[in-house]
A and B are shown apart, each in its own frame.
Chain A
Amino acid sequence: MISHRDNNAQRIAALDERAEALKLKRGMGIADARAMHPAIDVVEADAEADRRLLEGLADWCDRYTPLVAIDGDDGLFLDVTGCTHLFGGERAMQDEILTRFFEQGFDVRAGLACTPGAAWAAARFHGDRIVAGGEEEALLSPLPLSALRIAPETRTSLESVGLRTVGAVMAAPRAPLARRFGAALLVRLDQALGRLDEAVSPRLPVAPLSVERHLAEPVVLTDDIERLVSRLAVALKSDLERRSEGARTLALLLFRVDGAVSRIAVGTSRPMREPQLIRKLFHERLAALEQNIDAGFGFDLVRLSVLSVAAFDMLQGDLAGEVADDDADIALFADRIRARLSDAAVLKPVVVESHLPERAVAVVPFAEAPQRRMPATDRATPPMTIYPPERPVRLFRSPEPIEVPATEIPEGPPMNFRWRRALYRVARAEGPERIAAEWWRPGEEGAPTRDYYRIEDSEGRRYWLYRQGLYSASQAAPRWFMHGVFA
């Protein structure tokens, strides 16, 4: 028995057959139920977990159709248009769905109809029924008003005027109904009867291309999965070739026998269609996920979908039949690392126009970086500067505060400083190079300026320090930071 809190009282939210046999009902207070049967077992409702379970089931239903939508707290819409023949017709498909759910331990009602509204009513009021086209009216007329998916207030007011079945509402004149109970009622009615189109919005975007393989014998081993991936990728390749496209995002869906679904996605930095390469990417991804994928009793359906595509440029090979493309090699290398580790595992620096050192070079993930240009042809010649500003070879991601006990002159370089608990004696110093904050950016108007110094310590190491702010009587003493290391 599951309880939930409603109006400050614990009430029964759901109960099983044995509890029903004890004459307990939904909505009954837990205290009353306990008084009647002290031995009952009460579990607190967990809406979050229910939702997760429903989403898991929706994932699993992906095996029947890519168009799966979640309906409320306890329903799923499956748009099986054009899918039924794959499972041997409507009857066979519904039976299979019901059997499989039953084997997983779920008590499921299903209805199949031409409109979502009729299917909804059929599932909820008949349990296992297939409504042929045109029979919606016959199905709905004897049903109570709750079969129409209307708001409870509308339903009670309809019932108060004596309209207790859908048939009665259908028989009533439309204009007064709309005037009195709102347009929503008639919209729902028309949708259920197929006079209005109702779109079921799928919870996942539909993949432009996907290939799948049903397996008589479930697979468990990673090697087998990889082999299947390359076979599916071969099938995918011809489709991609026909569309002259390459895959940018690929997803591998592994349907476990007992209902769990694993979804493994990989991204590529350039369009790809070679089965060998696709297999390599999934090899890395599967190796990284080895701990997280629980094969259980095995996967009985494997699907490879292309989630996003991009135009694929054909390359002319040379006479030896080889296409030497270093960029492609590197892109594949980066993709494999991304598949195994994370998107941020391969980074590329991008020069940004900014005075602030930490902003002047942005480090972006490889896939997002602009493609490498041909070296030094289209590059504008840099402005001639006799002394380009000295920049360190390593920069700390966040400047580290240092202690500076004394400077020679107030605005001058430090004489010694303490960084990471070690004391450094300054042998030589160059500077300052004053870098002001970028006042035109919002939120940085009043930021203090920085005076950068190149410092060489007594052992010859070179550092880049800065003083934030200026010495003045009114303001707090400026702070010093270590920002980089020179070669």
Chain B
Amino acid sequence: MAMSAVARDTVFALRRQIAKIEGTLPERLEVPAPGASADTAGSDITIVRRGLAVAPQDAFLRTGIERLDAALGGGLPKAALSEIHGLETRDAGAVAGFALSLTSLILKEKQGLPVLWIGTAEIFREAGFPYASGLHALFGIEPEQLLFSEAPKLPDALWIAEEAARMTAFAAVMLEIRGSPQRLDLTATRRLHARAQSAGRPVLLLRQAGEAEPTAAPVRLIVSAAPAASRETVAGPLAGSIGRPAFTVDIGKSRTALPGQFTLEWNPDEHAFAERAENPVAVVSASARGTDPTPASGAVLAFPAVASPAPGDKPSRQQRPAHRSPRRTG
């Protein structure tokens, strides 16, 4: 309450003027953070975001996960550059999978539009070339919709991405880069971001084994693989099987600057995300009563016998079928 009403009006008038110059109107953003209670900060807090005020509801790609959307301030901006990082090159599968699931969500609205995937020759050699039948099965992207572009060098890849980002004929453009090259600096990302904004199409920048550097992208997500849940069968989860793809998503940068870590599971049938509970109890034993496969002989403990707790809902060692566990003598 330090500000008088007059001063406040002046501030608002100035903000409005700035917005007019920038061509957008500022808008009020509700504070979604549960930690920041309203009584301590007071009602003076006004978070202003700019640049995306034209159609706020339509400007965001909703991931379908309430918490993640809230932490991102409404979802992933559609007309923008978004960075998706993988910590190591071997995470390339998870990073590409997450980016493709976002693309699949985009394609729900823009059916039939092609998707362009740009990469340098290096990344396609190190991390593998995108495999069209896998993409079709998991993400529903038809092979005819896919276009790949393999650039011999990074400047070429950036040039292709800039040319593609200004086109409205693509549903999404993915640019995949390995490492932290000098060329991919703030200027380069700003160029991509500006083109994506004016074309109104998302550009996903996939950075394998890259460091968090200054970027013009409003959102940076750090993706790594999470252990998959078991396959669901009529008789309950099938022990030892590998189910739907799962990702661990950290928010590295977002407009709300709220931290968060999410474990998402991609549903390839409905083409939607589902969030997995933080720390589920082992699910296998819950559905006992005869429908279970015969448990392995030996003691069944309440806690996993291994020192490190089994992450996610991976079944513990004892609950796996006998032939999968290490041989025991005696």
Contact = CB atoms under 8 A, between A and B. Distances in A.
A460 interface: yes
B97 A348 contact: no
Interface in B187-241: 224-228, 240-241
Given A459-B225, A487-B100, A393 B129 contact: no
B282 to A, nearest CB: 14
B144 to A, nearest CB: 5
Contact of A348 (B100, B129, B147): B147
- Interface range for A: 35 or more
Contact of A486 (B93, B101, B111, B132): B93
B148 A341 contact: no
Contacts of B144: 372-373, 375
Interface in A368-391: 372-373, 375-376, 388, 390-391
A485 B149 contact: no
A349 interface: yes
Interface string B289-330: 000000000000000000000011010000000011011000
A397 B131 CA distance: 10
A345 B150 contact: yes
A345 B93 contact: no
Interface in B91-128: 91-94, 96-98, 100-101, 111-114, 124-125, 127-128
A168 interface: no
Contact of B311 (A460, A484, A485): A460
A361 B131 contact: yes
Contact of A393 (B97, B114, B248): B97
A349 B137 contact: no
Contact of B130 (A351, A373, A394): A394
A187 interface: no
A366 B149 CA distance: 10
Given A341-B156, A351-B133, A462-B245, A363 B96 contact: no
A479 B111 CA distance: 43
B177 interface: no
A347 B133 contact: no
Contact of B96 (A347, A428, A460, A487): A487
Contacts of A390: 137
A428 B127 contact: no
B131 A456 contact: no
A333 B168 CA distance: 12
Contacts of B94: 461, 487
A363 B227 contact: no
Nearest to A371: B144
A430 B241 contact: yes
B146 A349 contact: yes
Contact of B164 (A333, A344, A357, A462): A333
Interface string A349-367: 1110000010011010010
Interface of A is mostly: mixed
A361 B90 contact: no
A428 B148 contact: no
A326 interface: yes
B151 interface: yes
Nearest to A372: B144
B192 to A, nearest CB: 16
A293 interface: no
Nearest to A391: B134
Interface string A456-481: 10011111000000000000000000
Given A348-B147, A408-B324, A461-B225, A485 B92 contact: yes
Given A341-B151, A462-B245, A394 B167 contact: no
B29 interface: no
Given A345-B151, A350-B143, A333 B131 contact: no
Nearest to A397: B129
B93 A366 contact: no
Nearest to A395: B131
B148 A460 contact: no
- What is the interface residue range for chain B against chain A? 35 or more
A350 B136 CA distance: 12
Contacts, number: 180
A337 interface: yes
Nearest to B100: A393
A163 interface: no
A333 B169 contact: yes
A393 B150 contact: no
Nearest to A485: B93
B169 A394 contact: no
Contacts of A342: 152
B138 interface: yes
Given A341-B156, A375-B111, A428 B241 contact: yes
Contact of B167 (A333, A340, A376, A430): A333
B54 interface: no
B128 A394 contact: yes
B30 interface: no
A454 B143 CA distance: 23
B246 interface: yes
A487 B156 contact: no
Contacts of B90: 422, 461, 485
B143 A351 contact: yes
B185 interface: no
B164 A349 contact: no
A394 B147 contact: no
B66 interface: no
Contact of A395 (B128, B227, B327): B128
Residue of A326, A336, A394 with most chain B CB atoms under a 10 A cut-off: A394
Contact of A462 (B137, B147, B151, B228): B228
Given A363-B129, A393-B96, A487-B96, A454 B149 contact: no
A428 B314 contact: yes
Given A341-B160, A349-B143, 18 more contacts: A329-B168, A333-B167, A344-B150, A345-B150, A345-B160, A357-B131, A375-B144, A393-B97, A393-B134, A393-B138, A395-B129, A408-B323, A456-B228, A460-B226, A460-B228, A461-B225, A487-B96, A487-B247
Interface of A: 326-327, 329-330, 333-334, 336-337, 340-342, 344-351, 357, 360-361, 363, 366, 372-373, 375-376, 388, 390-397, 408-409, 422, 427-430, 454, 456, 459-463, 484-487
18 contacts: A326-B114, A337-B160, A341-B160, A347-B150, A349-B148, A366-B147, A393-B96, A394-B93, A395-B134, A408-B324, A428-B314, A430-B241, A454-B242, A460-B248, A485-B90, A485-B92, A486-B97, A487-B266
Give the 7 A-B residue pairs with the shortest CB-CB distance, closest first: A487-B97, A394-B128, A485-B93, A349-B132, A391-B134, A460-B227, A487-B245
